Amino acid sequence: MISTENREKVILFFESIDKYYGCKTEITEGLHIDTPDSDANAATWNMCEFELVRSAYRKQGERFMMEGEKMYYEISAARIIDFKQPKRHTYEFVEQYGVAVFRTTKIRFHSKY
């Protein structure tokens, strides 16, 4: 379960995500078994890039959505167990999908600022 402090940080992130509209957005996603801190070499990784054109929160299903022209990505709000901002314009979410199944999503915005 995500801490109250991190929950507030996630909400602030999505309330201000519109500042990244029009920015190149890089999403790196890793699927892990065991713990989210386990060896990154043992994870399955995917990466995509798109220009962020809109975002929304889907109440039914509790999903944060980000969309580009030909790309769509969702993060399950109900499954977030950790959230970090390791550097400026870079964010990391960890979702738990089973007892030992985790998805780490790293989002990097190539901001104009």
| Selection from 73, 56, 69 nearest residue 14 by Cα | 56
pLDDT of residue 102: 94
Q: What is the pTM of this model?
A: 0.90
**What is the Cα–Cα distance from 105 to 33, expressed in whole angstroms?**
15
Token readout for 83 is 């959230």
pLDDT value at position 49?
Answer: 96
pLDDT along the chain (113 residues), means of 10: 91 94 96 79 91 93 93 95 95 95 96 71
Q: Give the SS3 label for residue 66.
A: strand
Q: Give the pLDDT confidence score for residue 113 in this predicted structure.
A: 66
Per-residue exposure over 52-69, b if at least 16 CB sit within 10 Å of its own CB, e if not: beebeeeeeeebbebbbe
User: What's the half-sphere exposure (Cβ side, CA atoms, 13 Å) at 45?
Assistant: 10
- The reported pLDDT for the residue numbered 61 is 85
Q: What is the rounded distance in angstroms from the CA atom of residue 82 to the CA atom of residue 54?
A: 24
